[in-house]
A = this chain, B = another copy of it.
Amino acid sequence: MTRQINVALLGFGTVGSGTAKILLEQAELLEKRAGCPVRLKWICDKDLVTDRGFPVPREILTDDLAKVMDDPEVHIFIELIGGLEPARTFVLDAISRGKHVVTANKALLAVHGHEIFRAASDNGVEVGFEASVAGGIPVIKAVREGLVANNIHTVLGILNGTANYILTRMTDEGMPFDQVLREAQELGYAEADPTYDVEGVDTAHKLAIMSTLAFGMPVGLDDIYTEGITRLSPLDIAFASEFGYSIKLLAIGRRHDSGIDLRIHPTMVPQKHLLAQVGGAYNACYLVGDSVGKVMFYGMGAGQMPTGSAVVADVVDIARDVFTESVGRVPSFGIPVDMLSQPEFMPMEKLSGCYYFRFAAKDRPGVLASIAGVLGKYNISINSCVQKGRGDQEGPVPIVMVTHEALEADVRKALKEIDNMDIVLDSTMIIRIEELDSL
């Protein structure tokens, strides 16, 4: 019988440090809880940094990956390198050697998840990925185990802390996107290249993982419509507020009779809804199940210690399985990979909902009539309309409309026509509205 679980950590950056700190400093607590000692045997990184603000025994630090991979005593590899390669190669290598893997790498799982989970299944090892979605919030475990009695039909997530921080600042201070982003970069809340965060790609990675789990179907990045927050102006946020909404970068996954629909885009949610209250760098995942009804999980979606908390939770879970010889007790996605059903997707064109449009039109008589005429032609009916004088500003006048329920296909056709009109000076800003009934 296994008497001690040995762990090797690959990657000693931010999350790696948090993970190592917990494993080293809370070793006694974790032993009580796991039922056996969980020992951090190796920290492997190409930079042999020892000073991360807590004492690291020199002898566990190494840059010799081959030695760590070859160590027959290691039960669990924690991959915190990030990115696709060499992370993918390391993970597949570890799996092929019969080692369990814990990772926080959402990009890796969203892109190569199929290959990795298949390999894990074939090799009889576990892959823990709690830290890959919503950081410290134990949402993967909640869906896979806590909500096991449910068919989940809705997943709504605020899954990127950087984007949510930027939107919160834009809302609270009325500041433009570029300025907030610059500030966030200076404070270390946003990366030098923020593309993944602000263009919704990181959120799409997480939705791919969450929806595979929640809907029991393999989902890839290509199945997700993805639109970021870079085009939002303080104007849109001010108008949203006037209409009673907050703008959030929402991950949306819904099960319809005709298939699932998956998308990431700036979304107006009623200001009174709990999701609208999720501010700053916090994340939230809101789910609706057929038995449990509405549930929401809230917490820090990133950061050294919160993400470390999720990584260590997976390590302890796997340690318990190894220790009680019940490896594979819960499959990665709640059911064996072979049982995932073939996904059917609902084309976005078939969705209907309410829309916010901001037209950039010439300040000239008849403009409103022309725009409204095109909308009417495509059965898009206007709920409210605001046109404000442009004051001292040069350039186009913003005309803002909120529609009644309309079909996405009609909206696309109408906007294409409108954006081609010579009275319209810039492409129309479109924000989808989620009329979440109530809490």
Which of A148, A328, A439 counts the most chain B CB atoms within 10 A?
A148
- The yes or no answer to A279 lying at the interface (CB within 8 A) is yes
- The yes or no answer to A26 lying at the interface (CB within 8 A) is yes
Is the interface on chain A under 10, 10 to 19, 20 to 34, or 35 or more residues? Answer: 35 or more
Tell me which residues from 134 to 159 in chain A have a Cβ below 8 Å from any Cβ of chain B. Answer: 136-138, 141-142, 145-151
List of B residues within 8 angstroms of A320 by Cβ: 326, 329-330
Q: Are A305 and B325 in contact (CB under 8 A)?
A: no
Q: Are B280 and A439 in contact (CB under 8 A)?
A: yes
Q: Are B300 and A297 in contact (CB under 8 A)?
A: no
- The yes or no answer to A296 lying at the interface (CB within 8 A) is yes
Q: Are B147 and A313 in contact (CB under 8 A)?
A: yes
Tell me which residues from 233 to 284 in chain A have a Cβ below 8 Å from any Cβ of chain B. Answer: 272, 274, 277-280, 282
Binds B, one of A59-67, A115-123, A287-295: A287-295
Q: Are A292 and B296 in contact (CB under 8 A)?
A: no
> Nearest CB to that of A29 among chain B residues?
B151
List of B residues within 8 angstroms of A79 by Cβ: none
Instruction: Please report the C-alpha to C-alpha distance between residue A20 and residue B14 in the assembled complex, in whole angstroms.
Output: 47
- The yes or no answer to A324 lying at the interface (CB within 8 A) is yes
| A-B pairs with beta carbons under 8 Å apart, 28 shown | A22-B149, A32-B339, A136-B292, A136-B295, A141-B146, A145-B313, A146-B310, A146-B313, A147-B313, A148-B312, A148-B316, A149-B309, A149-B316, A274-B298, A277-B277, A280-B439, A290-B305, A291-B305, A291-B309, A292-B299, A293-B300, A295-B300, A297-B297, A320-B326, A320-B330, A321-B329, A324-B328, A325-B326
Additional pairs, 5, CB under 8 Å, beyond known A148-B313, A295-B297, A296-B299 = A138-B146, A142-B142, A148-B317, A278-B439, A293-B305
Please list the residues of chain A having a beta carbon within 8 angstroms of any beta carbon in chain B: 18, 22, 26, 29-30, 32-35, 130, 136-138, 141-142, 145-151, 272, 274, 277-280, 282, 289-300, 303, 305-306, 308-310, 312-313, 316-317, 320-321, 324-326, 328-331, 334-335, 339, 439
